[in-house]
């Protein structure tokens, strides 16, 4: 008796989720800020274990702060995670960039990383850009990183840069409020040159969750538009986190969605929102009409991967 072939199950959104653990004061409540050392390590261990048990397999790191050391002391054993590392600024010098990338692996307690990303695409466009890229290629050739790439905003011309450098990975900001990278075909262009697409700033730097009184002065003009977006979501019974994740996971060209998380409780909230069914929404009507205005500080939000 023959049986029909099994229908493959749809991939879980968690398969595409990467975590950027926030250990700096980027949250109103952050267990890594005020707790004693032992408690901080335990909080990190609990967060990572929560993610691992849910199927998360990638962690995105940055060299600032104490995050790399905390991660290195808290990995579950055996660790299921692959790790992306970011460079320090080119202004610190080529030797410093290379040494700090190596140091990141040491602090993380890892023999190799999944990807090494230039923190600012503008560093690659300057006079020392080619020399910087050569350093990254050398680290990849030595087996310290499986792939290399860069972090960018839409203004950096990331697809052209990825094509010129033959980059393996491009991390770029895109979210429900600023959909330009998707709407203007930038994500498709990046993918077409053979690079993986990693999305950052998926929660719009926290703007989706901020009330009018919480907005910084230079964003006050957007209070009404943000309120309108939240009202539309409420009418469809879809909370902002659920909508933010549903939007980025709907983008087929995206390989990884980098979500910032500061605690196991936030981790559980992200997991629940990622799995929750979201009603059909008109994504374009939820975006800000002039997103460039609120993304003037996008580089900061890329750094926090929020």
- 27-73 pLDDT tens trace: 445 555 555 567 889 999 999 999 999 999 999 999 988 899 999 99
Let me know: does 165 contact 282? Beta carbons within 8 Å. no
Q: Using alpha carbons, select from 167, 181, 174 the residue that is nearest to residue 199.
A: 174
Residues 149/113, Cβ–Cβ less than 8 Å: no
- Is 213 a residue whose pLDDT tops 50? yes
DSSP collapsed to 3 states, 253-273: CCCEEEEEECCHHHHHHHHHH
Average pLDDT score over the chain: 87
Q: What is the pTM of this model?
A: 0.87
pLDDT tens digits for 260-272?
999 999 999 999 9
Of the chain, the percentage scoring pLDDT greater than 90 comes to: 67
State pLDDT tens for residues 130-184.
Answer: 999 999 999 999 999 999 999 999 999 999 999 999 999 999 999 999 999 999 9
Domains and CATH numbers, the chain: 13-304 (3.20.20.100)
Band of pLDDT at residue 128, cut at 50, 70 and 90 = very high
């Amino acid at each position: 008796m023959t049986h029909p072939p099994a229908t493959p199950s749809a991939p879980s959104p968690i398969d595409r989720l990467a975590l950027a653990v926030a250990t700096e004061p980027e949250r109103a409540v952050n267990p890594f800020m005020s707790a004693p050392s032992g408690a901080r390590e335990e909080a990190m261990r609990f967060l990572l274990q929560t993610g691992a048990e849910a199927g998360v397999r990638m962690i995105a790191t940055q060299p600032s702060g104490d995050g790399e050391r905390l991660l290195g002391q808290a990995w579950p054993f055996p660790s299921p995670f692959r790790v992306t590392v970011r460079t320090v600024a080119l202004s610190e010098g080529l030797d410093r960039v290379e040494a700090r990338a190596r140091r990141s692996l040491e602090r993380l307690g890892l023999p190799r990383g999944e990807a090494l990303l230039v923190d600012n695409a503008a560093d690659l466009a300057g006079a020392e850009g080619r020399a910087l890229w050569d350093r990254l290629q050398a680290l990849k050739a030595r087996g310290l990183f499986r792939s290399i790439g860069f972090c960018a905003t839409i203004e950096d011309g990331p697809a052209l840069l990825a094509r010129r450098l033959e980059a393996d990975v491009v991390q770029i900001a895109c979210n429900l409020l600023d959909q330009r990278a998707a709407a203007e075909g930038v994500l498709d262009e990046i993918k077409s040159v053979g690079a993986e697409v990693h999305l950052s700033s998926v929660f719009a730097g926290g703007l989706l969750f901020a009330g009018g009184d919480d907005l910084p002065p230079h964003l006050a003009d957007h209070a009404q538009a943000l309120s309108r977006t939240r009202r539309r979501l409420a009418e469809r019974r879809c909370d902002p986190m659920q909508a933010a994740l549903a939007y980025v996971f709907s983008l087929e060209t995206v390989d990884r969605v980098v979500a910032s998380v500061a605690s196991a409780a936030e981790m559980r909230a992200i997991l629940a929102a990622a799995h929750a069914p979201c009603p059909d929404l008109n994504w374009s009507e939820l975006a800000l009409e002039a997103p460039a205005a609120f993304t003037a500080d996008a580089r900061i939000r890329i750094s926090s991967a929020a």
